[in-house]
C-alpha cells in the first residue's frame, strides 16, 4: 500500500480503502478519491480533551477510494515504519500518514515535551499496518538493547518503538561536552529493547542550547 518514490514522496496505492494523511500533504492523485478532514493526534473524547489541554494536535485528511495518491511535506525525508501489533511514539509534526488499520492516540511524555516546546503529550500509532514519518534529512534508526542504553538530543528525536523506558538527564548536553553549551538542557535516555529514530538536523527547543 505504501511505497517511496525517491526519498521525499510517498505513493499510496488504494483499492477502495483509506489512508489518513497530514493535511495539505497530497501533491497528486489519480483514480477515484474522496477527501474528509479529520482532527488528529488522538481518537474519541479522551483524544479531543487531551489535544485541547496540551496543544498536541494536527489536522489530518482521510483519503478514500481506488487509485494512487502521492504525499509529501516541504521536501522532508520520508521513512516507512511497519507495525506488527506494537506501538510507535512520534511527534505529531513528524507523522505524514497511517493506513486505515492503525489507531492513533496520545500519551504523556513529561519533560521531553516541555523541553521541546511541543506540549507534554506525543502522538501514538498502534496496530498492524504501515506508517510514514518525516525527518529533516535522512533519519537514522538506532537500536537500543538492555546492554546498550541510548542518550538522544531532544532536538534530534523523531520517534521510537518497542519496549523502551525514557528518563531525562539535565544540566549537560552534547554541545556542553564540546564546550559550546550555554545553559541547562536535557538529554533523553532510552533503556530496554527497541528502536529510536533520530534526524541529522535539530529542531528549536526551549530547554537551553541543545
Structure confidence by residue, pLDDT tens digits, 131-145:
999 999 999 999 999
Per-residue pLDDT, 95? 94
Per-residue pLDDT, 173? 54
Tell me which of 191 and 206 has the higher pLDDT. Answer: 191
Q: What is the pTM for the complete model shown?
A: 0.80
Tell me which of 20 and 120 has the higher pLDDT. Answer: 20
The whole-angstrom distance between residue 37's C-alpha and the CA centroid of its chain comes to 20
Q: Are 135 and 120 in contact (CB under 8 A)?
A: no
Per-residue pLDDT, 27? 96
Tell me which of 21 and 168 has the higher pLDDT. Answer: 21
How far apart, in whole angstroms, are the C-alpha atoms of residue 36 and residue 65?
12
Tell me which of 155 and 46 has the higher pLDDT. Answer: 155
Is residue 169 scored above 70 in pLDDT?
yes
Average pLDDT (102-114) is 70
How far apart, in whole angstroms, are the C-alpha atoms of residue 207 and residue 112?
9
Neighbouring CB atoms inside 10 A of 209's CB total 14
Per-residue pLDDT, 114? 46
Distance set, CA 60 to CA 6, 104, 171 (Å): 23, 11, 37
Is residue 180 scored above 90 in pLDDT?
no
Handedness of CA 83, 110, 94, 192 (dihedral sign): negative
How far apart, in whole angstroms, are the C-alpha atoms of residue 88 and residue 29?
27
How far apart, in whole angstroms, are the C-alpha atoms of residue 120 and residue 7?
31
Confidence of residue 166 (pLDDT cuts 50, 70, 90): confident
Amino acid at each position: 500500500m505504501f511505497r517511496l518514490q525517491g526519498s521525499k514522496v510517498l505513493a499510496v496505492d488504494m483499492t477502495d480503502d483509506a489512508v489518513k494523511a497530514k493535511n495539505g500533504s497530497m501533491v497528486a492523485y489519480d483514480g477515484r478519491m474522496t477527501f474528509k478532514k479529520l482532527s488528529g493526534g488522538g481518537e474519541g473524547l479522551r483524544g479531543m480533551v487531551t489535544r485541547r489541554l496540551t496543544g498536541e494536535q494536527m489536522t489530518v485528511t482521510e483519503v478514500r477510494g481506488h487509485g494512487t495518491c502521492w504525499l509529501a511535506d516541504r521536501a522532508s525525508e520520508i521513512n516507512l515504519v511497519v507495525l506488527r501489533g506494537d506501538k510507535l511514539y512520534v511527534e505529531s509534526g513528524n507523522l505524514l500518514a497511517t493506513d486505515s488499520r492503525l489507531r492513533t492516540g496520545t500519551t504523556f511524555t513529561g519533560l521531553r515535551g516541555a523541553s521541546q516546546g511541543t506540549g507534554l503529550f506525543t502522538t501514538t500509532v498502534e496496530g498492524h499496518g504501515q506508517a510514514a514519518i518525516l525527518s529533516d534529512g535522512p533519519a537514522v534508526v538506532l537500536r537500543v538493547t538492555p546492554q546498550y542504553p541510548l542518550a538522544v538530543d531532544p532536538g534530534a528525536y523523531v520517534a521510537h518503538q518497542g519496549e523502551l523506558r525514557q528518563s531525562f538527564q539535565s544540566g549537560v548536553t552534547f554541545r556542553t561536552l564540546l564546550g559550546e553549551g550555554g545553559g541547562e538542557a536535557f538529554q533523553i535516555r532510552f533503556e530496554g529493547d527497541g528502536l529510536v529514530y533520530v534526524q541529522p538536523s535539530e529542531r528549536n527547543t526551549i530547554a537551553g542550547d541543545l
